[in-house]
Chain A
Amino acid sequence: MALKMVKGSIDRMFDKNLQDLVRGIRNHKEDEAKYISQCIDEIKQELKQDNIAVKANAVCKLTYLQMLGYDISWAAFNIIEVMSASKFTFKRIGYLAASQCFHEGTDVIMLTTNQIRKDLSSPNQYDTGVALTGLSCFVTPDLARDLANDIMTLMSHTKPYIRKKAVLIMYKVFLKYPESLRPAFPRLKEKLEDPDPGVQSAAVNVICELARRNPKNYLSLAPLFFKLMTSSTNNWVLIKIIKLFGALTPLEPRLGKKLIEPLTNLIHRYVTTNTALFIQHCASIQLCVQKLRILIEDSDQNLKYLGLLAMSKILKTHPKSVQSHKDLILQCLDDKDESIRLRALDLLYGMVSKKNLMEIVKKLMIHVDKAEGTTYRDELLTKIIDICSQSNYQYITNFEWYISILVELTRLEGTRHGHLIAAQMLDVAIRVKAIRKFAVSQMAMLLDNAHLIASNTQRNGICEVLYAAAWICGEFSEHLEEANQTLEAMLRPKVTTLPGHIQAVYVQNMVKLYASILQQKEQSGEKEAAQEITQLMIERLPQFVQSADLEVQERASCILQLIKYIQKLQIKEVPVAEEVIALFAGELNPVAPKAQKKVPVPEGLDLDAWINEPPSDSESEDEKPKTIFHDEEQRHSRHKQPEIDEEELARRREARKQEQANNPFYIKSSPSPQKRYQDTPGVEHIPVVQIDLSVPLKVPGMPMSDQYVKLEEERRHKQKLEKDKKKKKQKKEKRGKHHRHNSLHTESEEDIAPAHHVDIITEEMPENALPSDEDDKDSNDPYKALDIDLDKPLADSEKLPVQRHRNAEDLKSPDSEAPLAEKKSKKPKKKEKKHKEKERDKGKKKEKEKKVVEEEEEKKKSSKHKKKKHKKEKEEKSKDKKKSKKKHHHSEEETTESVQNGTLDDEPLPVSSSALATLTYDIQGNLQNDSQVTVSVIFENKSTSFLKSMELNVLDSLNTKMIRPEGSSVHDGIPVPFQLPPGMTSFVLSSLICACSVGGGGTSSCCLGNDEGSTHEKLDFKLHFSCASYLITTPCYSDAFAKLLESGDLHMSSIKVDGISISFQHLLAKICFHHHFSVVERVDSCASMYSRSIQGHHVCLLVKKGENSVSVDGKCSDSTLLSNLLDEMKETLSKC
């Protein structure tokens, strides 16, 4: 022994501690990895030792290695061991390691529940503190649920140190277990007025965080916060409160006015940096803008940044006042600090108007050229697109300009945002009809210069724009002037190096182009030219047929066959253009992204019903396949417009409507005024404004947008002059009455008329689409779950869960592994050595059959024992017990009533009380585990001081036995894992009891030690088990019930009760409620009922109601259970 001890000490002398490890790593710079793996091996050895100090040292080193990036998850269990050490030194290290490496996926985390609960209730505030801190890092939904109640209790701890931490961690608990918010909120609110500033600030923190996410639920707290704001001197708290008001004011405008005064006071009170701090949160004050300008002009980069940030907040409410500082903000775009440039960009987004859009974008384009890093350049690119496209292109007056900007942006190499530009091009070309002609010409140019764009293919994101270009040129090919040239460009061999999805679009759209060229040639009678173009297609298409991309290959080979067929017809001199063009007839309308989802199912439409009779297998297809090319009738063409007369148009319109009405896939347009274009006679009749192409088309590579800017300026100037002229005339007429007003007139937003009439088509939505905003919300948003009405009174069902069956599993886990001796902390605690009665463990089986009807309840008060009275107590107690057996029969009805299942539950039964505390309990069958029942005991502290170290013990009897942690002896009690604050509410603990028998009722007694300093007390009480405690309401079908009765191995017994006055319905409800039965079947005044015991015995009842009496026939596989049950039932019924 002695030798071992010495050896242990010597070993330890050679153990590396953390410092050694750190030093070692620093000394092994060359072979760090090797050195560390050596250390990890040593650590593994250390972890195998029993000595907790060695283990803690090892875990400490592991935590350091974890920071260096080494995986230590394998040591999770050892970490828990160290967490459960009794010494703070080690515990602290254990919790640190846990907080660094545990996460929701750590499976051993569930083993910590009980240890943490124990630490939370430790008399040492630092134990509690360290547990709370650790928990704040790794709390899981399970832990949150199981510990919510304990933490809530700690919010009223005597020490502010603990209260503060408990309040803060509550926020985490709310997030993980939102059900805890309502029960805990009243106490949290109390903490806003805690005498300790730290606790108060913690409460403000938590409530502000909560309110920020769901402000409307916290409006009622505004007066309280207002008071705090005017009284508090703590900067940190003030900032939080101001922030909170920032969230509340939009909901309650009156608040804003009230806030101005205290806020102004605050601003005057603090200087420079602090001002910035406050200004950040008081966007309601105009004077800020001036002060902010000073900040932005400051040489300190941080102030500059914050100034811009604050500006952007003010921008939302007072755009005008910020817009006047445009110069300054544009200047910031040149700053060398990217963070500042990004903030300036944010501001620009909100500052644009019709008037300054072109100018701002021009500046941005310059920056795009100058930008060095691709990230910032990409950011600029997205910002330009964002700025221009915001609120449905609200600020764009000239779409030609915008298209040119987009084309210019295609010169950016290596951008990730090619698809963004492409999407914009498509969107504008589709929705702004007036611009199509121009757009098509620009896109044709892009296609022609594809080699510039796609020089570095595959990895070059910009080639995405070719996708858009090809589609636009194909779809709107009627606007193409040099269609031949574009088709040529699309058929170049280089195209095959483009990504597959782009090639596919190329292939599809070259056919559209081809069709339109064909038509053009045929109409002008150039047969040879038409055949040439067909020949060109036939020659070039095979390169796509060979494509490795399936989509390209399939489309190309399909089209190649088609064109070969056309060629045959062309040789026969058959006109084909009309037919080919018909392939692409019809207008594509822009459809809103979510339109499909919002199509309501029309009334009377059964989507599952067959539309036609399902075809029988024998049916053969006799119909002759029609050849489309010889069918001369019914064709839609969109290029014949000039000749079509009004009548014909009307007819077609009608036909189309008919067709649409019959087409289930067609999404109907709503009759909203914006969508009026739908009712116009079709594409042909949209007034396409003649665009005066005053800007010559240029090869991309030359910025063209600048010229638009100039043009636009001229145009505006002209417009203004005209207007002024008009005004002058008016003025003359009015004899200069409003002279002053007119001279001050400046160009305002509305005065700028768009360059040409633009009809922006809104995206289509189905009729009756519900304006649902749900789809905007993220269903994964953890804060959504916290959107809870806090003003509603608390329902009983909402009470925080208290330790339940889970306890049983947990008790088996880690802390039982840790030596029991360690659990007892230094403080002189009087743990009673428990009762040595031995009345059990013999002949269980025989006893089982014996009837044990001890329905009794024992109340015994033993108040304030001083120190060492235990021995006497025990004797006393057993005497009392015997006495009470005879005495207390009266209480039976009371108890049976108290034992109910599930939610019907009313107040549990008080069983024992003293000056210090009252105990109540409730018993329920355990659904998960056969032959177990759960007893919940509620402790209510009635004294004025803390109840510490409570212990619960149940004397094992023949029928029942308490489930104890493994390794503890049958006499040991289970310590209650919490302390009860003085005068405080009741708290529940549930503990598991194993019922070995279901005969009638079992008795058991609990013994409890409370102590507070020198005072301690023992409360004895008896647990009464009625039969209902063992019954679990189980539904049963009538046929299963009948089979059960037929089986014949059931014992039978019956009772009859007279003097029943209540209705049969009511009577059945009573049986269901009190005795946990369910009704199987009911016929008139006769009903069959069923229930099952936790040990699997079936209980069947037949209840018949006579005039004034009720008879109950029972069948059960256990006769004892049945007779006891019927006795209890008699009792219940006789009260009716």
Chain B
Amino acid sequence: GCPRQQTGKIHFILLFSRQGKLRLQKWYTTLPEKEKKKITREIVQIILARNQKTSSFVDWKDLKLVYKRYASLYFCCAIEDQDNELLTLEVVHRYVELLDRYFGNVCELDIIFNFEKAYFILDEFIMGGEVQETSKKSAVKAMEDSDMLQETVEEYMNKPAF
């Protein structure tokens, strides 16, 4: 029942609120939907049950959970046993910084209403569970450039229907 099978560093990333609502999920292991749901539920429960002043690391099955709370949102990564916890915290932090740059003082609502953008940013930063871009600048630039390719909502509305 555990995502042992494959992938590199990070097995999955979950963002959820203090109320336990899932805000974003990215899986770098392919698992059936059911399994994902089960894992998510379990992990949200474990982390929410933890005291504020505890460490950011939890053993979970044969993986390790590394999490950090930013305002009302928990950011949680599952990594393998040999992987570096601090580096993973750094990854989480970097992602928050990227979100911050893109949305400008990011808040939970930004991520809810623009959840696809939050995914795109994550995709520019991490790929297949590995950090792909260590430079903040490049990641944000790639994000902005690809947004340039995207039409605005107005353009979309003014287009003929076929």
Give complex CA distance A294, B128 in Å. 36
Whether, in the assembled complex, A124 has its beta carbon less than 8 Å from a beta carbon of chain B, the answer is yes
Q: Knowing A169-B127, A212-B82, say if A8 contacts B162 (CB, 8 Å).
A: yes
Checking A51, A67, A124, A201 against B25 with a beta-carbon cut-off of 8 angstroms, the contacting residue is A67
Closest to A17 in B: B153
Interface residues in B135-159 by Cβ distance below 8 A to A read 135, 138, 142, 145-146, 149-151, 153, 156-157, 159
B9 → chain A, closest Cβ, in Å?
8
Whether, in the assembled complex, B2 has its beta carbon less than 8 Å from a beta carbon of chain A, the answer is no
Q: Knowing A5-B161, A73-B33, A197-B134, say if A126 contacts B87 (CB, 8 Å).
A: no
Checking A51, A92, A280, A305 against B161 with a beta-carbon cut-off of 8 angstroms, the contacting residue is A51
Q: Mark A303-334, 1 if CB is under 8 A from B, else 0.
A: 01110010000000000000000000000000
Checking B8, B134, B153 against A201 with a beta-carbon cut-off of 8 angstroms, the contacting residue is B134
Whether B135 lies near A198 (C-beta < 8 A) is yes
Q: Knowing A236-B87, A339-B57, say if A67 contacts B157 (CB, 8 Å).
A: no
Whether B120 lies near A88 (C-beta < 8 A) is no
Checking A71, A73, A202, A277 against B87 with a beta-carbon cut-off of 8 angstroms, the contacting residue is A277
Give complex CA distance A60, B116 in Å. 8
Checking B8, B112, B130, B149 against A89 with a beta-carbon cut-off of 8 angstroms, the contacting residue is B149
Residues of B within 8 A of A5 (CB): 160-162
Whether B84 lies near A280 (C-beta < 8 A) is yes
Checking A64, A133, A197, A212 against B115 with a beta-carbon cut-off of 8 angstroms, the contacting residue is A64
Residues of B within 8 A of A92 (CB): 116, 120, 146, 150
Q: Mark B82-108, 1 if CB is under 8 A from A, else 0.
A: 101111010000000000000000000
Whether A87 lies near B55 (C-beta < 8 A) is no
Residues of B within 8 A of A171 (CB): 8, 128, 130
Whether, in the assembled complex, A22 has its beta carbon less than 8 Å from a beta carbon of chain B, the answer is yes
Residues of B within 8 A of A69 (CB): 22, 37
Interface residues in A101-151 by Cβ distance below 8 A to B read 101-105, 124, 126, 129-130, 132-133, 136-138
Whether B150 lies near A22 (C-beta < 8 A) is no
Whether, in the assembled complex, B48 has its beta carbon less than 8 Å from a beta carbon of chain A, the answer is no
Whether, in the assembled complex, A337 has its beta carbon less than 8 Å from a beta carbon of chain B, the answer is yes
Whether A22 lies near B112 (C-beta < 8 A) is yes
Whether, in the assembled complex, B32 has its beta carbon less than 8 Å from a beta carbon of chain A, the answer is yes
Residues of A within 8 A of B134 (CB): 197-198, 201, 234-237
Whether, in the assembled complex, B72 has its beta carbon less than 8 Å from a beta carbon of chain A, the answer is no
Whether B113 lies near A19 (C-beta < 8 A) is yes
Q: In the complex, how many residues of chain A place their beta carbon closer than 8 angstroms to a beta carbon of chain B?
A: 86
Whether B55 lies near A340 (C-beta < 8 A) is yes
Whether A103 lies near B51 (C-beta < 8 A) is no
One of A160-168, A254-262, A547-555 contacting the partner: A160-168
Give complex CA distance A99, B129 in Å. 13
Whether, in the assembled complex, B17 has its beta carbon less than 8 Å from a beta carbon of chain A, the answer is no
Closest to B129 in A: A136
Whether B161 lies near A11 (C-beta < 8 A) is yes
Q: How big is chain B's contact interface, by range?
A: 35 or more
Residues of B within 8 A of A974 (CB): none
Q: Knowing A8-B160, A88-B150, say if A336 contacts B112 (CB, 8 Å).
A: no
A689 → chain B, closest Cβ, in Å?
43
Most-contacted residue by chain A among B7, B86, B133, B159 (CB, 10 A): B86
Whether A50 lies near B157 (C-beta < 8 A) is no
Give complex CA distance A12, B155 in Å. 13
Whether A337 lies near B54 (C-beta < 8 A) is yes
Whether, in the assembled complex, A301 has its beta carbon less than 8 Å from a beta carbon of chain B, the answer is yes
Whether, in the assembled complex, B73 has its beta carbon less than 8 Å from a beta carbon of chain A, the answer is no
B122 → chain A, closest Cβ, in Å?
10
Closest to A70 in B: B33
Whether B30 lies near A104 (C-beta < 8 A) is yes
Whether, in the assembled complex, A172 has its beta carbon less than 8 Å from a beta carbon of chain B, the answer is yes
Whether, in the assembled complex, A267 has its beta carbon less than 8 Å from a beta carbon of chain B, the answer is no
Residues of B within 8 A of A342 (CB): 59
Give complex CA distance A243, B22 in Å. 33
Residues of B within 8 A of A124 (CB): 149
Q: Which residues of B contact A (CB under 8 A)?
A: 5-9, 22-25, 27-28, 30-33, 37, 51, 53-59, 82, 84-87, 89, 112-113, 115-116, 119-120, 123, 127-128, 130-135, 138, 142, 145-146, 149-151, 153, 156-157, 159-162
Q: Which 6 A-B pairs have the closest CB atoms?
A: A8-B161, A301-B55, A136-B128, A337-B54, A103-B30, A305-B55
Q: Which residues of A contact B (CB under 8 A)?
A: 4-5, 7-9, 11-13, 17-19, 22, 50-51, 53-54, 60, 63-64, 67-69, 71, 73, 87-89, 92-93, 96, 99-105, 124, 126, 129-130, 132-133, 136-138, 161, 164-165, 168-169, 171-172, 175, 197-198, 201-202, 205-206, 209, 212, 234-237, 239, 243, 273, 276-277, 280-281, 301-302, 304-306, 309, 336-340, 342, 782
5 contacts between A and B (CB under 8 A): A103-B32, A129-B142, A136-B127, A172-B7, A198-B138
